[in-house]
Structure 1
């Protein structure tokens, strides 16, 4: 099923997983999927390795999610330094495996080298991939958006104009980068409406369960930590079990507030930790049912 059509029916609740390292077996993912299958997420997204290092794993896992576990799969696809022929081969692989949904991303350069934007490259930006995938046909296309702005954008106005270009090039829905203050999301949505960006948006939520994770999140995404969550870190940061419990509770509170405000969807970055997904899905079970029937 096309994910764009799921958004027409209900509040969409989804999960993200990432492939193991290329040298690792897929058993770890299989074990995790066995644990979370009964949560019945509306879709599971499967990330893409930097520079395409795990692209085969991404297709294999997406196929497993869709064809074995009967859960809709969203395959991440990056385009930087890829040719149209390479992207065509991936499209064909996805179609052969009954995958109908793609998250169209620019991606990062291998080994964290600076992105090289060249006129003779087939794809330099996610908007290029979105346009090409739309013309190829047969896929529902998602894209990333950034409530606090992309790290490479000069300001939030530039960030929103780039987002509009992506959407106008063929995106059907969006998934946000994680955020810790729901007001950032609500303000972002208001600005989207001013620019007439009207596709569904899933709010990306990540439960923080340890101090190192917070540091990594800030360095990679530029996400800010709300004063409320800073107090949690100050109080429980040196107690791993307490911080994990508090982090899950904080993320659950975010989700409840978002759903009360009729968000289009929730996308949970559960970090391949089934116990986190189970805890949160259990806490919002009745709310999820209510949202689906209202």
Structure 2
């Protein structure tokens, strides 16, 4: 069952994101992570585009195919296009189809340093989405940014770009991580006002240590609400307390999101299945109540 159909049949949808090992890393550790995550009964598991190198798509493919064949759980294979030709992505599509992968998260990817910004086959993620829809039969997810993409000239411009991506064929949206639910609610209202009616999954990352939050904020531009800053300030020198506080904070985010009818929740669990289990256990009764209503 492709992810578009899952959204049509069930809400809220629960999903996790995992990432392949770095070059020469141990795939067995990833498979152990998947084994533990499968016990939590997710609706799908997304697999990021692997470590840099020519074999990255193969690694993503192998893991995505394993999830689907071993556990009968849908997988969402990430695919970046910034440095790819149409022939490149066609070869990847062929491999995905041969492995019966039905779902792609279409992303631009980070521009390599010094790379020209024009004369590329795919300037933006929307170009990849459109090409997929014109040539293949995949269900396509797209990224969205509740506080605006860090490279966007303005939030308004970013919303215009999102409208374009959906017009090009995106079937559902997955948000970048955020720590302030009000930012997501404002974003969702604006998106719906633009007549974008495809499902929006809220991406949540529990913050477990100070270095992690500093890195994530620098990369994403996500803002930190005062409540979160107080937690960081109070427990930054007590790793276990900060870890526990991060789990509780993320759990509270999830309960609030679920209570407002969110289409899905997508947990960025950093290949830590024990973290995923804590979060799912904390909201399991809420999920059951919503799915049975």
Does the CA-based 8 Å contact 2:21-2:50 persist in structure 1?
no
Which residue is 2:116 aligned to? 116
Counterpart of 1:92 in structure 2 is: 94
What does 1:82-161 align with in structure 2 at a 5 Å threshold?
Answer: 82-110=84-112, 113=113, 116-119=116-119, 121-161=120-160
The structure 1 segments of at least 4 consecutive aligned residues displaced by more than 6 Å after TM superposition are none
Which residue of structure 2 aligns with residue 208 of structure 1?
A: 207
Partner Cα distance (1:107, 1:36) in 2: 26
Secondary structure of the 1:141 match is: strand
Distance 2:107 2:269 in 1: 20
Q: Which residue of 2 aligns with 1:279?
A: 278
Task: Give 1:55 shift.
Answer: 1.7
Instruction: List per-residue Cα deviations over 1:182-213 (Å, max 9, x = no partner).
Output: 00000001111221111100000000000000
Q: TM-score, normalised by structure 2?
A: 0.97
The 3-state SS of whatever aligns with 1:154 is: coil
Cα distance change, pair 92–226 in 1 and its aligned pair in 2 (3 A): same
> How far is the alpha carbon of 1:50 from its aligned partner?
6.2
Please report the TM-score for the alignment, with normalisation by the length of structure 1.
0.96
Q: CA deviation at 1:70?
A: 1.3
User: For this pair of structures, how many residues does the alignment match?
Assistant: 291
Q: Which moved more, 1:1-10 or 1:50-59?
A: 50-59
Q: Is the 8 A contact 1:22 1:57 kept in 2?
A: no
- Aligned Cα root-mean-square deviation (Å): 1.2
Provide Cα deviations, 1:98-119, integer angstroms capped at 9, x if missing partner: 1100000000134xx2553213
Check the 8 A contact 2:20/2:51 in 1, yes or no. Answer: no
Find the counterpart in structure 1 of residue 58 from structure 2. 56
Q: Deviations over 1:156-181 (max 9, x none)?
A: 00000000111100000000000000
Q: Distance in 1 between matches of 2:267 and 2:114?
A: 29
The CA distance in 2 between the partners of 1:290 and 1:189, in whole Å, is: 23
Distance (Å, rounded) in 1 between the aligned partners of 2:83 and 2:123: 7
Unaligned 5+ residue runs, structure 1?
none
